[in-house]
Structure 1
Amino acid sequence: MADLTQFGQLGPAVDSEASDGTVPPSDPIELQEHDSTDPFEISSEDAEFLDRVTADGSAPFEVTYTSDGRVRIHTGSNVGVLTLPSGTQVEVTPKASVTSLLWTLQYAFDTPVDSMGYKTKFSTDSSFFDAIGVLFWNELTTVLDQGLHRDYVRTQAVEDHVRGQIDVQRQLQRPGPQPTDFAVEYDEFTTDTILNRAVLSATRALVRLVRDPTLAGRLRHEEQRLRQFTSVRPVSLEAVNRIELSRLNEHYEMLLDLTRTVLSREFFEDITAGENRALALFVDMNNVYERIVERACRAAASELGELDVEGQGSIPTVVEGPHARSMRPDVIVRGPDEQAVAVLDAKWKPGVSASDVYQLTSYIFALETDGALVYHGGYEHDGEESVVDSEYSLRSVALNTNPSVDSYGDYVDALERSARGYLSSVIRE
Structure 2
Amino acid sequence: MTEITPVGYLGPPINRTDAGETVPPSDPISLEEHDRTDPFEISREDAVFLESLEERCRANPLNISFTSDGKAIIKTSSHVGVLTLPSGVQIEVTPKQTVTRLLWALKYAFDTPVDSLEFETEFTGASSFFDAIGVLFQAELQSVLAQGLHREYVRTHSVRDHVQGRIDVQRQLQRPAAVTTDFAATHDDFTADNLLNQAVLAATRILVTLVRDSRLSSRLHYQEQRLREFVSVENVSPRDVDRIELSRLNDHYEALLGLTHLVLDREFFDDVRAGDRRSLALFVNMNDVFERIVERAFTAAAQELGDFTVEGQASIPNVVEGPHAVSMRPDVFVTRSDGTPVLVVDAKWKTGSASSSDVYQLTSYILALEVSGVLIYPGRDDRIAEESRVMNEYRLRSGALATNAAVESYDDYAAAIESSALQFLKESAKQ
Greater mean deviation of Cα atoms: 299-308 or 416-425: 299-308
Distance of 1:40 and 1:182 partners within structure 2: 69
Q: CA deviation at 1:174?
A: 4.0
Distance of 1:340 and 1:373 partners within structure 2: 17
Report the counterpart of residue 359 of structure 2 in structure 1.
Answer: 357
Instruction: Supply the AA of the counterpart residue of 2:270.
Output: I
Distance of 1:41 and 1:181 partners within structure 2: 69
Q: Measured at CA, do residues 368 and 6 of structure 1 come closer, stay the same or move farther in structure 2, by a change above 3 Å?
A: farther
Q: Measured at CA, do residues 84 and 182 of structure 1 come closer, stay the same or move farther in structure 2, by a change above 3 Å?
A: farther
Q: TM-score, normalised by structure 1?
A: 0.89
For the residue of structure 2 that corresponds to 1:270, the secondary structure is: coil
Distance of 1:395 and 1:83 partners within structure 2: 42
Instruction: Supply the AA of the counterpart residue of 1:271.
Output: D
Task: Show the 5 A alignment for 1:14-29.
Answer: 19=19, 21-29=21-29
Distance of 2:164 and 2:87 partners within structure 1: 53
Greater mean deviation of Cα atoms: 414-423 or 100-109: 414-423
Q: Measured at CA, do residues 192 and 385 of structure 1 come closer, stay the same or move farther in structure 2, by a change above 3 Å?
A: same
Greater mean deviation of Cα atoms: 114-123 or 391-400: 114-123
Instruction: Spell out, residue by residue over 1:250-304, the C-alpha distance to the aligned partner (whole angstroms, 9 max, x if none).
Output: 111111111011112xx23333242544322221111111111111112222222
Distance of 1:236 and 1:366 partners within structure 2: 38
Instruction: Supply the AA of the counterpart residue of 2:258.
Output: D
Q: CA deviation at 1:382?
A: 3.4
2:166/2:186 contact within 8 Å kept: yes
Relative contact order (alpha carbons < 8 A, sep ≥ 6): 1 or 2 greater?
2
Task: Show the 5 A alignment for 1:25-424.
Answer: 25-55=25-55, 58-124=59-125, 127-264=128-265, 267-274=266-273, 276-335=277-336, 337-350=338-351, 351-378=353-380, 382-424=384-426
Report the counterpart of residue 13 of structure 2 in structure 1.
Answer: none
Instruction: Supply the AA of the counterpart residue of 2:428.
Output: V
2:380/2:405 contact within 8 Å kept: no
**Which ranges of structure 2 fall in alignment gaps of 5 or more residues?**
8-16
Q: CA deviation at 1:200?
A: 0.6
For the residue of structure 1 that corresponds to 2:120, the secondary structure is: coil
Instruction: Spell out, residue by residue over 1:217-272, the C-alpha distance to the aligned partner (whole angstroms, 9 max, x if none).
Output: 111111111111111111122221101112221111111111011112xx233332
Task: Indicate the percent of aligned positions where both proteins have the same amino acid.
Answer: 60
Q: CA deviation at 1:153?
A: 1.8
1:307/1:335 contact within 8 Å kept: yes
Distance of 1:19 and 1:336 partners within structure 2: 66
Distance of 1:224 and 1:384 partners within structure 2: 54
Greater mean deviation of Cα atoms: 134-143 or 60-69: 60-69
1:268/1:278 contact within 8 Å kept: no
Q: Measured at CA, do residues 143 and 353 of structure 1 come closer, stay the same or move farther in structure 2, by a change above 3 Å?
A: same
Q: Measured at CA, do residues 246 and 303 of structure 1 come closer, stay the same or move farther in structure 2, by a change above 3 Å?
A: closer
Q: Measured at CA, do residues 181 and 374 of structure 1 come closer, stay the same or move farther in structure 2, by a change above 3 Å?
A: same
Distance of 2:38 and 2:267 partners within structure 1: 24
For the residue of structure 2 that corresponds to 1:127, the secondary structure is: helix
Report the counterpart of residue 10 of structure 1 in structure 2.
Answer: none
For the residue of structure 2 that corresponds to 1:162, the secondary structure is: coil
Distance of 2:248 and 2:241 partners within structure 1: 18
Greater mean deviation of Cα atoms: 415-424 or 17-26: 17-26
2:31/2:93 contact within 8 Å kept: yes
Distance of 1:332 and 1:182 partners within structure 2: 56
Distance of 1:341 and 1:115 partners within structure 2: 35
Distance of 1:161 and 1:404 partners within structure 2: 68
Distance of 1:137 and 1:225 partners within structure 2: 13
**Which ranges of structure 1 fall in alignment gaps of 5 or more residues?**
8-16
Instruction: Spell out, residue by residue over 1:313-369, the C-alpha distance to the aligned partner (whole angstroms, 9 max, x if none).
Output: 221111122222231111122245432122111111123211111111111111112
Distance of 1:18 and 1:352 partners within structure 2: 46
Q: Measured at CA, do residues 319 and 406 of structure 1 come closer, stay the same or move farther in structure 2, by a change above 3 Å?
A: same
For the residue of structure 2 that corresponds to 1:302, the secondary structure is: helix
For the residue of structure 1 that corresponds to 2:379, the secondary structure is: coil
